[in-house]
């Protein structure tokens, strides 16, 4: 017996009323039920980061998150970052820094990059932050090592890491 729930997902500032099987992942709800195909199903095991979205401003792997878990929380996908006519600053930097090749991972990289910038601005240290108390008095300064560490959950099969790091820093 399949159990279904009626729920409202708030995605990119818009409420969507859905009726879903309890086992539906957020990724499948976004792609199959809402037509938001920017988030990709890469590994479906939370290992590649292609499905990264923001949930209440924090990164999550949408393939590991059930849709019913996100009721009442804001979901931001790559579609919510900018439009083709009005790119976000990070999207522009990805183009300028040649931070993509095949493009499959790009949406997850962009969403993670936005989160990395916000985490650093909020003073969150990473595993490579030298002074763990620096964030108590202000933002953590991003450098190559910080960006590489913070973006390590997002894999790029083409190896465009140099451009991705440069774009996040730009």
Q: Which structural domain range is residue 68 located in?
A: 4-80
Res 96: pLDDT: 96
CATH number of the domain where residue 149 is located: 1.10.150.120
Res 134: pLDDT: 67
- Average pLDDT for the chain: 93
Tell me which DSSP letter residue 24 carries.
Answer: -
Indicate the pLDDT class of residue 137, thresholds 50, 70 and 90: confident
* 93 and 162 belong to one structural domain: yes
Within the chain, what is the greatest distance between any pair of CA atoms?
A: 54
Q: What are phi and psi of 81, to 5 degrees?
A: -85, -35
Task: Out of 80, 105, 139, pick the residue that ends a domain.
Answer: 80
Res 138: pLDDT: 82
* 101 and 35 belong to one structural domain: no
Structural domain count of the chain: 2
* Distance of alpha carbon 1 from alpha carbon 78, whole angstroms: 35
Cβ-in-10-Å burial (0-12, 13-18, 19+) of 82 comes to middle
Least Cα distance to 90 among 75, 108, 63, 102 occurs for 108
The whole-model pTM stands at 0.92
Q: What is the pLDDT of residues 27-61, one digit of tens each?
A: 999 999 999 999 999 999 999 999 999 999 999 99
153, HSE (Cβ side, Cα atoms, 13 Å): 18
* Distance of alpha carbon 25 from alpha carbon 43, whole angstroms: 14
The answer for 157, left when phi > 0, alpha when psi is -120 to 50, beta otherwise, is: alpha
* 47 and 119 belong to one structural domain: no
Quick check: 75 pLDDT over 70? yes
* 140 and 71 belong to one structural domain: no
CATH number of the domain where residue 64 is located: 3.10.20.30
Q: What is the pLDDT of residues 90-134, one digit of tens each?
A: 999 999 999 999 999 999 999 999 999 999 999 988 999 887 776
Helix and strand numbers, DSSP H then E, in the chain: 5, 5
Least Cα distance to 110 among 138, 132, 90, 82 occurs for 90
Task: Out of 80, 106, 135, pick the residue that ends a domain.
Answer: 80
Task: Out of 45, 61, 80, pick the residue that ends a domain.
Answer: 80
* 95 and 73 belong to one structural domain: no
């Amino acid at each position: 017996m399949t159990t279904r729930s009626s729920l409202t997902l708030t995605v990119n500032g818009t409420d969507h009323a859905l009726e879903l099987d309890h086992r539906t992942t957020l990724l499948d709800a976004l792609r199959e039920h809402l037509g938001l195909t920017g988030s990709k199903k890469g590994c479906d095991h939370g290992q590649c980061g292609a499905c990264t979205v923001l949930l209440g401003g924090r990164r999550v792997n949408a393939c590991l998150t059930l849709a019913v878990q996100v009721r009442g929380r804001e979901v931001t996908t790559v579609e919510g970052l900018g439009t083709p006519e009005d790119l976000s600053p990070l999207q522009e930097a990805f183009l300028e820094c040649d931070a993509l090749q095949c493009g499959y991972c790009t949406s997850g990289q962009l969403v993670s990059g936005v989160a990395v910038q916000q985490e650093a601005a909020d003073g969150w240290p990473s595993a490579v932050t030298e002074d763990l108390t620096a964030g108590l008095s202000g933002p953590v300064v991003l450098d190559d090592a910080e960006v590489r560490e913070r973006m390590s959950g997002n894999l790029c099969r083409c190896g465009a890491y140099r451009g991705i790091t440069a774009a996040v820093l730009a």
